[in-house]
Structure 1
Amino acid sequence: MWIEEIQNSKGTRYKYCERFTLPNGSTKKISITLNSNSRYAHKQAIIELQKKQDETLKTLGINKVTTFYDVAMMWLDYTKPTIKLSTHINHELHVKKVFKYLETSTLIKDVTPLVIEGILQQIYYIENLSYSYMRSVFVTIKAIYKHAKRKGIISTVIDFDDVEIKKKPFSHTDIAKRQNKFLDADELKEVIEKLTKHDSRIGLLFEFMSITGLRIGELLALRLCDYDKEKATININGTIQFQYVNSSEDKRGTPKNIYSVREITLCNRGVQILNSIITDNKRRELWFEGYTDNGYIFTTARGNPYDLQFLNRMLKKVHIEGKTLTTHIFRHTHISMLAELGVPLKSIMQRVGHNDPNTTLGIYTHVTQSMQDDVIAKLNTRKA
C-alpha cells in the first residue's frame, strides 16, 4: 500500500492505493481517499481496501477461485441450466474421473498439459477405458479451462495441442468386441424368442428396435400421435430422460440433436408390432383400473414408459454366447442388417439420425458373416 497526497482548496487529503494480483496473473489498482494520515487512518484504509478488493473480485465473478476443482464446480453450475440433465450428469462424472487422479487443492495454474496428459493416460492406458470416453473427459477439461479464461481467472488458455494421447493399436480382443456389438439373424431370432417367453411385450419392443434402429430413449418416447398408420411411418421427435420421474413434465425431452429428428418408414413387421401393442394398450385401458393412457405406445402396466434398469434386467435373463446384450445392440444390429442389404451410407445415416459419416462407419457398419460368405461365393464363381 502506498499513499498519495491530494492538495485542494479544503486542505490535504490522502489517497491510499494498493495494487493486487488477480488469479490470472494480471494486476488491478484500487484506492480510497481519507482526510487523515494517522495510524488509525492506516488501519481503516487496510480494512476498506480489503473490502474493495473483495468487491472487485466479486464483480469479475472470480471470488478468489484459484484451484482447478473450484473452477470445475463453477463451470458445472454455470452450464447446468443450459443443457439436458443427462448431459450435466455426464459432465459431473467426467469431473469426478479427473479428480480421481488430481488433488482438489491443485491450483489451476499448476494443471499443465503434462498433468492433463497424465490423467488421460491413466484413463485410457491403465483403466483401459475407451478412446472416445477419454476424449470426452479431455473435452470437459478444455471447457473448464475456457470458462476460467472467460471469468478472468486465467489470462490465457494453455496449448492443448501439447497434450498427446496416441490411439492404441487394434488387438484381437478389440476386433472381437466390434463383432460382438451386433447380432446376426440367428442370434437375433434366439434373443427375441427368449425375451418373449419372459414377457411378450418386451420381446416385441426389442424386435421393433432391431427393425427400426431407434435409440431406446427414442423408442420409449414414441407416442400414438407420432404414428401415421396410413403412410406406415413414425416421427422421431423426442427422447425419454430416465433421470426424471414419470410424473415430471421433463420426462419426455428433446432428441439427442437436430439430426435425430426424422421420419422413419416401417416395414410390414414394424406395422404389425405397433398395431399389436396399440391394441393391447386399449385393452389394458378398458380392463385394468391402474392403467392410465399417457399417449405413449411402449408402456408398462400403468401406461408409463419402461424404466431402463428394468429393460436391462430383462436382457440379463438371456444368454447368447460371446455377446453382451444391451439396449444399444439392437440399434447396431439394425445398421448391420442395412449394410448387409447394401443400403447406401447416406440412407443409413438418415434412418438412424447421424450427421457424421465416420460415426456410422466406425460404430455400426460391421461386416457380417453372410457378407464375408457372399464375397467368397463371388470369388469362387469368377472366371479366370
Structure 2
Amino acid sequence: MYREITHNGKYRYVQSFKDKDGKNRRVSVVKNNKTRATEKEAYEELQEKINKILNPKQEYHNLGYYKEKYLEFKKTTLAYNSYLAYEITLKKINDNEKLENITKIKYDRKLIEMRKDYAPKSIELTCLVFNNFFKFIKKYYAPNFDVTLEFKWSKEEKSTAMQKIKYLQKDEIEGVLKSIKNNTVRSIAILQLHTGLRIGEALALTPNDVDFKNKTISITKTKLNNGEITAPKTISSIRTIEVSDFILQLLLDFISNTEFIFNISYWTILHYLKPLTISSHTFRHTHVALLIEQNIPIKVISERLGHSNINTTLSIYTHVTKSMKANLRDKLDNLSPFIPHK
C-alpha cells in the first residue's frame, strides 16, 4: 500500500494486486489525514475491495427456479413413473426457499422428521432425489454449494420392512391361482412365478422377445401404468433368461396378430388381485423363494431378476431363509421316530 496527496490536500491510499487473470490492478480510498489509525482503516477497506473483486458474491435464485431447470433436465433421462416420483418428491422443498439457507443439518433433520409420516423406503427415495438435485445445482449453477444428505434405516425399521416382504408358500400357490377370476391375469401370475418378471416387463413382451428354439425370453423394455413403453427400470434389467417348455407353451397360447403377447392393462390386473390382498410383486418374490429352496446361488437369482444391487435380492433371501429355519425348528420336534419318556 502507498499514499498519494490529492489536488485538494486529502490522502489517497492505493493498493496494487493481481486479478484472477494475472493482470495488475489497483484499488484506492481517500482519507482526510495520514495518522496510523487512518492508515489501518484504509488498509482494511482496500483489502475488502480486493476481496470483493477476486471473490464476487454470486446472486442465487430461489429453489423454485432450480427445481424447474432440474425437472426439465431429468425429463429426458427418466422413465415416466420415475419422473413423476422425482416431481412429487421435490414438492417437499419450498419453492421460495433461498439457496443460501440450505444446510446439511437443516435437511438431515427434515428427513428425520419425515419418519413420523413416511415409510423408510420413501424417505430413502427423498434423500436420493434431494442429493441428486443438490448435485445438479452445484454442477451447473453454484460451484460453492455443497450439501450431501444422509439417511440410515434403524434396526427396527429394517426388521419391520423384512416382515412386509410377501411371498407365497408352496402350499398356498394353487389356492391363490384358483382364486384369480380372470384367465389372462392368472396366466401372467403363473409366468411371474416361473420367471420373476416384473409386471411391466411381462406386459411389454412381444412374440419377437421369445426364442422358442433356445428356450429363452429377452427382457428389453417395460410397459408403464399409463401404457407407455420405455426402457427397463435399470441397465441390469435388460437380460435374457431361460424358461421351461411349460412357459413357452403358455406364451404360445396367447400369441396372436396383436403387438403384445398379453393384451390387458395394469389396472385390470390390479382389479383382480386386490381382493386377494396381494400384488403382482408377490409372484416375483415367490419366484425368488422357490429358487432359494432349490439352492440356486444368490448371484444367479439376482441376475435372473434383473436386480441392479445384489442387496435387493439378499433382503428377500434373508427373509425366506428365516422362514425356512423356523420351519426346520418345527420339523425337528418330529424328527425322531422315538422320543423317550422321562
Fold shared by both chains (TM-score > 0.5):
yes
Distance 1:220 1:268 in 2: 20
1:211 to 2:194 alignment: yes
User: Could you say which residue in structure 2 is the equivalent of 1:149?
Assistant: 138
Which protein is bigger by CA-based radius of gyration?
2
Q: Quick check: 1:182–1:332 contact (8 Å CA) kept in 2?
A: yes
1:222 partner amino acid: L
Distance 1:136 1:128 in 2: 11
Q: Percent identity?
A: 26
Q: Quick check: 2:124–2:151 contact (8 Å CA) kept in 1?
A: no
Deviations along 1:182-228, one digit per CA (max 9) or x if unpaired, are 11112222111010xx2122111111111110011111111111112
Distance 1:333 1:233 in 2: 20
Q: Quick check: 2:254–2:261 contact (8 Å CA) kept in 1?
A: yes
Normalising by structure 2, report the TM-score. Answer: 0.73
Q: Quick check: 1:117–1:165 contact (8 Å CA) kept in 2?
A: yes
Deviation, 1:376, is 6.3
Q: Quick check: 1:218–1:239 contact (8 Å CA) kept in 2?
A: yes
Q: Quick check: 1:68–1:111 contact (8 Å CA) kept in 2?
A: no
1:192 to 2:192 alignment: no
Q: 1:296 aligns with which of 257, 260, 267?
A: 260
Distance 2:150 2:324 in 1: 40
Q: 1:262 aligns with which of 236, 239, 242?
A: 239
SS in 2 for 1:211: helix
1:276 to 2:266 alignment: no
User: Could you say which residue in structure 2 is the equivalent of 1:315?
Assistant: 273
User: 5+ unaligned residues in a row in structure 2: which ranges?
Assistant: 1-57, 337-342
1:216 partner amino acid: I
2:116 partner amino acid: I
2:266 partner amino acid: L
Q: How does 1:30-69 map to 2 (within 5 A)?
A: 66-69=61-64
Equivalenced residue count is 276
Normalising by structure 1, report the TM-score. Answer: 0.65
SS in 2 for 1:264: strand
Distance 1:370 1:277, change over 3 A: farther
1:107 to 2:84 alignment: no
Q: Quick check: 2:162–2:319 contact (8 Å CA) kept in 1?
A: no
Deviations along 1:293-340, one digit per CA (max 9) or x if unpaired, are 3321111xxxxxx2222211110132xxxxx41111111110011011
User: Could you say which residue in structure 2 is the equivalent of 1:342?
Assistant: 295
Q: Quick check: 2:288–2:317 contact (8 Å CA) kept in 1?
A: yes
1:225 partner amino acid: N
SS in 2 for 1:263: strand
SS in 1 for 2:137: helix
User: Could you say which residue in structure 2 is the equivalent of 1:176?
Assistant: 163
Q: Quick check: 2:204–2:221 contact (8 Å CA) kept in 1?
A: yes
User: Could you say which residue in structure 2 is the equivalent of 1:95?
Assistant: 90
Q: 2:116 aligns with which of 120, 126, 132?
A: 126
Q: Quick check: 1:212–1:266 contact (8 Å CA) kept in 2?
A: yes
1:212 partner amino acid: T
Distance 1:72 1:185 in 2: 48
Distance 1:331 1:353 in 2: 11
Structure 1 runs of 4+ aligned residues shifted over 6 Å read: none
Deviation, 1:175, is 4.4
1:74 to 2:28 alignment: no
Deviation, 1:357, is 1.6
Q: Quick check: 2:138–2:146 contact (8 Å CA) kept in 1?
A: no
SS in 2 for 1:182: coil
1:218 partner amino acid: E
Distance 1:314 1:88 in 2: 27
Over aligned residues, Cα RMSD in angstroms? 2.5
